[in-house]
């Protein structure tokens, strides 16, 4: 058969070919499943790894398109010029199938070299395939002179990340006592999952719905609401960042049920509401909806809300109650499911303690302001050189450099979360989490990756010059001294 005729037919029936490609990928994955027979836990970890590959690959592909490495044809169901279904196909083939293959070889006892060979083989095989069918690439319109180098780097990063994420959660090859490759931390995994879900539900799906409506020639009139979307997006982003970080830091896990926290998280935003991540996503989706208001997005938002509510009431509730029992029931009695509390409901023995320099005028003014805002007397405070500091932090922690630092001590919780000690700018930011809403959302700044490093420099400059602000005012010092929340 004349290849030009086949190519002409493919380009004339693009949508049909795209559907057939997806069906073929599903078929290959079915064959791989029957051949490799992964267990239930392996399938769950591989689905998370494939999801991370999907969204990271999509974002990286958009960046490469913007840099001129290649350009895609003008196709429906595309995001920023990149066909979404292309990355879904790859997530099935080189997400699920690659993860399952890595369980068979190198497996849990594989060496760093073995995993490197597997990654190199997958990358080179894919590059060779791309070169072989370069003239048949249905999605690509044109390529640059350096597209092969870009393709090599892209595949190495995306497939390497897939293997790393798949083997990092409990049960993976990198989670054992002496891993050949350090695992991705719970915090990194939590950020990868959360960022992907936010991109999917807040950006990609609405764009895909509008693209499908245009393809079907379905009229979807839109309008926009001023100011309110920005407010909702800011609040949702702050609440979401804080919630995801708290899950990783105090729970040693992620918000995803297939990679859950090992401990019940009852601090941070979870002291205000039981489902802060779902509220944050709802706020972000509502902000996006109001920015481009239409009946299509309203229907989508209602559908997502119904599905999330069903999952929480039927699946997640039973799982948490079976794992944490009376501790979970006690927390749920104190914290509403959806309605945000004005003040945090922290465990009786879980009150955080703020250690500060009681001879510093600036520190004392700041602590006095915190006590005024802490209406429910959640916070405790103590001098850095006092008995409580020596008992909880040790003599080394109150001497030397720490004498110039603010330290926040958050005790272990009934849910099993260990004590957490924060210093300097992180302590200043995290302590706001015990204040009433919306001031408590300032604690989200401590969770922003990289921001505490910058804030610590500013904190160090202020801390080194703090005594220039004088000694504590008499009234301020007396108030702190007689306050019942003060510890020795």
pLDDT (tens, 9 = 90+) of the chain, 488 residues, equals 455 676 677 777 788 888 999 999 999 999 999 999 999 999 999 999 999 999 999 999 999 999 999 999 888 778 888 998 999 999 998 999 999 999 999 988 888 999 999 999 999 999 988 887 766 677 888 889 999 999 999 999 999 999 999 999 988 888 877 778 899 999 999 999 999 998 888 888 887 777 777 777 777 777 777 788 889 999 999 999 999 999 898 988 898 888 988 899 999 999 999 999 989 988 988 888 888 878 888 888 888 888 777 776 666 777 788 888 888 888 888 999 888 998 998 776 778 998 888 777 777 788 888 888 888 888 888 888 788 888 888 765 555 445 557 889 999 888 788 888 888 889 889 999 988 988 999 999 988 888 888 888 888 887 777 666 666 666 666 567 667 778 88
Q: CA 57 to CA 63: how far, in whole Å? A: 10
Q: CA 463 to CA 218: how far, in whole Å? A: 61
SS3 423: strand
- Within 10 Å of residue 63's Cβ, how many Cβ atoms? 14
Q: What is the pTM of this model?
A: 0.88
* Bridge-based pairing state of the strands 82-83 and 78-79: antiparallel
Residue 81: in which H helix or E strand, if any?
Answer: none
For the residues of 204-227, what is the DSSP string, one character each?
IHHHHHHHHHHHTT-----B--SS
SS3 70: strand
Helix residue spans in 146-185 (DSSP H): 147-167
Helices (H) and strands (E) in the chain, counts: 18, 8
Q: CA 104 to CA 231: how far, in whole Å? A: 49
Q: Report the residue count for the chain.
A: 488
Say which DSSP state 79 is in: E
The ranges assigned to domains in the chain are 1-184, 202-341, 349-482
Phi, psi dihedral angles at 218 (to 5 degrees): -95, 120
SS3 141: strand
CA distances from 194 to 311, 430, 440 (A): 17, 21, 21
Confirm if 404 and 253 have CB atoms less than 8 A apart. Answer: no
CA distances from 89 to 18, 23, 211, 342, 345 (A): 10, 9, 19, 46, 46
Say which DSSP state 436 is in: P
Confirm if 108 and 176 have CB atoms less than 8 A apart. Answer: yes
């Amino acid at each position: 058969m004349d290849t030009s005729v086949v190519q002409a037919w493919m380009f004339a029936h693009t949508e049909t070919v795209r559907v057939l490609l997806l069906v073929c990928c599903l078929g290959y994955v079915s064959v791989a499943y029957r051949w490799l027979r992964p267990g239930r836990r392996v399938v769950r970890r591989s689905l998370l790894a494939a999801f991370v590959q999907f969204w990271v690959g999509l974002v990286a592909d958009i960046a490469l398109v913007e840099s001129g490495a290649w350009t895609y044809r003008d196709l429906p169901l595309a995001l920023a010029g990149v066909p979404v279904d292309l990355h879904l196909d790859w997530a099935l083939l080189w997400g699920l199938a690659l993860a399952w293959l890595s369980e068979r070889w190198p497996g849990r006892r594989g060496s760093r070299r073995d995993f490197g060979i597997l990654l190199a083989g997958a990358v080179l095989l894919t590059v060779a395939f791309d070169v072989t069918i370069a003239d048949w690439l249905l999605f690509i319109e044109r390529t640059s002179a350096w597209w092969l180098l870009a393709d090599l780097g892209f595949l190495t990063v995306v497939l390497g990340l897939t293997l790393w994420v798949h083997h990092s959660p409990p049960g993976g090859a990198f989670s054992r006592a002496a891993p050949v490759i350090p695992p991705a931390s719970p915090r990194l995994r939590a950020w990868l999952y959360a960022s992907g879900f936010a991109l999917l539900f807040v950006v990609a799906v609405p764009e895909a719905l509008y693209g499908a409506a245009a393809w079907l020639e379905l009229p979807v009139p839109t309008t926009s609401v001023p100011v309110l979307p920005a407010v909702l997006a800011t609040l949702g982003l702050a609440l979401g960042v804080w919630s995801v970080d708290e899950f990783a830091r105090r729970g040693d896990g992620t918000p995803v049920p297939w990679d859950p926290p090992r401990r019940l998280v009852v601090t941070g935003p979870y002291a205000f509401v039981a489902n802060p991540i779902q509220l944050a996503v709802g706020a972000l989706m509502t902000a996006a909806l109001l920015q481009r208001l239409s009946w299509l997005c309203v229907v989508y938002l209602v559908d997502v809300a119904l599905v999330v509510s069903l999952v929480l009431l039927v699946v997640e509730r039973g799982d948490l109650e079976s794992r944490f029992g009376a501790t979970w029931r006690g927390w749920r009695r104190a914290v509403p499911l959806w309605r945000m509390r004005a003040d945090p409901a922290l465990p009786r023995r879980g009150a955080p303690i703020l250690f500060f320099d009681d001879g510093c005028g600036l520190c004392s003014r700041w602590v006095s302001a915190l006590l005024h805002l802490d209406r429910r007397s959640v916070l405790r405070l103590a001098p850095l050189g006092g008995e409580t500091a020596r008992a909880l932090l040790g003599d080394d922690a109150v001497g030397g450099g720490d004498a110039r630092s603010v330290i926040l001590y958050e005790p272990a919780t009934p849910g099993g979360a260990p004590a957490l000690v924060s210093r300097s700018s992180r302590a200043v930011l995290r302590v706001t989490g015990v204040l009433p809403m919306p001031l408590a959302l300032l604690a989200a700044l401590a969770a922003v990756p990289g921001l505490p490093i910058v804030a610590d420099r500013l904190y160090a400059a202020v801390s080194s010059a703090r005594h220039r602000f004088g000694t504590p005012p008499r009234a301020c010092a007396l108030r702190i001294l007689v306050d019942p929340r003060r510890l020795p």
